[in-house]
Chains A and B, each alone.
Chain A
């Protein structure tokens, strides 16, 4: 567990079977190792986002992208906060999950505030449920979800018109990528499976997270 594994082990092959509009889930799945997380205080709203409030004209397109991101961040936040109660995480993994939960909560807060300040209406938190029954199931799912998050931001970012909103999205996606790598290491899989992270369209992302959305 303490060594970097280079074998691309599929922890949950059933996830790979899920197709994302022609893209094998295994393509976006990472393979992972060991992580330690320090618990960070809930960061204040990102300064980038403050800048966005001040200078962006409130472009409708940007608000749409921000609400799309907010939906994903709500999902991630709920996922980790629930896991702290029921995934049986302990020790270093618990520390990491605490960090992940804190980060996603901060993203939710920052995105919500930015949407409001741009004159938009933040979407509500979706009702979610996550299909895992043990710690390994949780960490495998976490890897999938973080990778989808990275692909979602990278796919949406070029559509953003405000420089400040773009910088904020960049700041968040790097953190999602870091989460993906850290959780992949927990799973003994590859923290950086590709030289170029793949992008996903909104339709692909929504399809990928559909199993977790309860309506």
Chain B
């Protein structure tokens, strides 16, 4: 029976859970931009480094902190505002909320699939269900908020996740949550309405909590970016989750 015992050794990279590196030529959405192109466009190693750090899949963040982080975040303010990938979900705050809703749908489906996979039992399963139910609450809240703002909520995507064994699933969960936290942070300064901002922040820190808990269980640091969490722009996030979206 798999348990969520924390590893004594740091996890090594697992291609199945390295969201950013799988299938670099897969096209994303309407943009038709391949992931490889995107990485190039995004400024190569600097932005990618921040992204990977955000994904929490390396323990060498102190390195990326001293070198990559400063560069990537230096560009973050402007690059973040220039990245209007959320517009495909609607204008302004509605687009941002629908983008978040899409990610929350994905997280909810992920935890749902994991809970049904039979890979976890007991207290571990309870935790997975709890995180999943919190994501479902985010879905409900965002759906209501989009409607309240006069928008049409984004549809629930069809998803599929590789669920091979408990450790691999935990790594994937950690990657998804760290990405989710970085995704919210990437939108905070773009949100117009103070009410939407307050709601997004109250979700953002919960995603950070999930990410930190999963990192801890994997024997990784709960703060992979160091003292300052790094944001991820929507284009990068959407590209990263594309492998899990079936239609």
Q: Taking A106-B228, A192-B131, A196-B203 as contacts, is the C-beta distance between A40 and B123 under 8 angstroms? A: no
Q: A154: which of B71, B195, B205 is its contact (CB, 8 Å)?
A: B205
- Within 8 Å of chain A (Cβ to Cβ): is B112? no
List, in ascending order, chain A residues with CB within 8 A of B203's CB. Answer: 195-196
Nearest residue (CB) in B for A51 is B77
In the complex, chain B residues 69-125 whose Cβ is within 8 Å of any chain A Cβ: 69-74, 76-77, 80-81, 122-124
* A106 CA to B139 CA, complexed, in Å: 34
- Within 8 Å of chain B (Cβ to Cβ): is A166? yes
CB of A106 within 8 A of CB of B226, answer: yes
CB of B205 within 8 A of CB of A197, answer: yes
CB of A171 within 8 A of CB of B202, answer: no
- Within 8 Å of chain B (Cβ to Cβ): is A50? yes
CB 8 Å contact bits of B225-247 with A (1 = contact, 0 = none) = 11111110000000000000000
Segment of A2-10, A12-20, A60-68, A130-138 in the binding face: A2-10
List, in ascending order, chain B residues with CB within 8 A of A181's CB. Answer: 208-210, 212-213, 216, 222
Q: B222: which of A2, A106, A150, A182 is its contact (CB, 8 Å)?
A: A182
How many chain A residues sit at the interface, stated as a range, is 35 or more
Segment of A78-86, A115-123, A156-164, A204-212 in the binding face: A156-164
List, in ascending order, chain B residues with CB within 8 A of A163's CB. Answer: 77, 81, 189
CB B182 to nearest CB in A, in angstroms, measures 8
List, in ascending order, chain A residues with CB within 8 A of B80's CB. Answer: 167
* A104 CA to B223 CA, complexed, in Å: 12
List, in ascending order, chain B residues with CB within 8 A of A42's CB. Answer: 227
List, in ascending order, chain A residues with CB within 8 A of B230's CB. Answer: 171
- Within 8 Å of chain A (Cβ to Cβ): is B137? yes
CB of B216 within 8 A of CB of A36, answer: yes
- Within 8 Å of chain B (Cβ to Cβ): is A33? yes
CB of A6 within 8 A of CB of B227, answer: no
- Within 8 Å of chain A (Cβ to Cβ): is B33? no
- Within 8 Å of chain B (Cβ to Cβ): is A139? no
CB of A157 within 8 A of CB of B197, answer: yes
List, in ascending order, chain A residues with CB within 8 A of B124's CB. Answer: 3-4
How many chain B residues sit at the interface, stated as a range, is 35 or more
CB of A33 within 8 A of CB of B231, answer: no
Nearest residue (CB) in B for A183 is B222
CB B16 to nearest CB in A, in angstroms, measures 23
List, in ascending order, chain B residues with CB within 8 A of A96's CB. Answer: 222
* A47 CA to B68 CA, complexed, in Å: 11
CB B169 to nearest CB in A, in angstroms, measures 14
- Within 8 Å of chain B (Cβ to Cβ): is A71? no
CB B17 to nearest CB in A, in angstroms, measures 19
Nearest residue (CB) in A for B197 is A158
CB of B205 within 8 A of CB of A174, answer: yes
CB of B123 within 8 A of CB of A4, answer: yes
Q: A103: which of B201, B211, B217, B226 is its contact (CB, 8 Å)?
A: B226
List, in ascending order, chain A residues with CB within 8 A of B206's CB. Answer: 177, 192, 194-197
* A51 CA to B77 CA, complexed, in Å: 7
Task: List 3 tightest A-B contacts by C-beta distance, closest first.
Answer: A47-B73, A106-B227, A178-B212
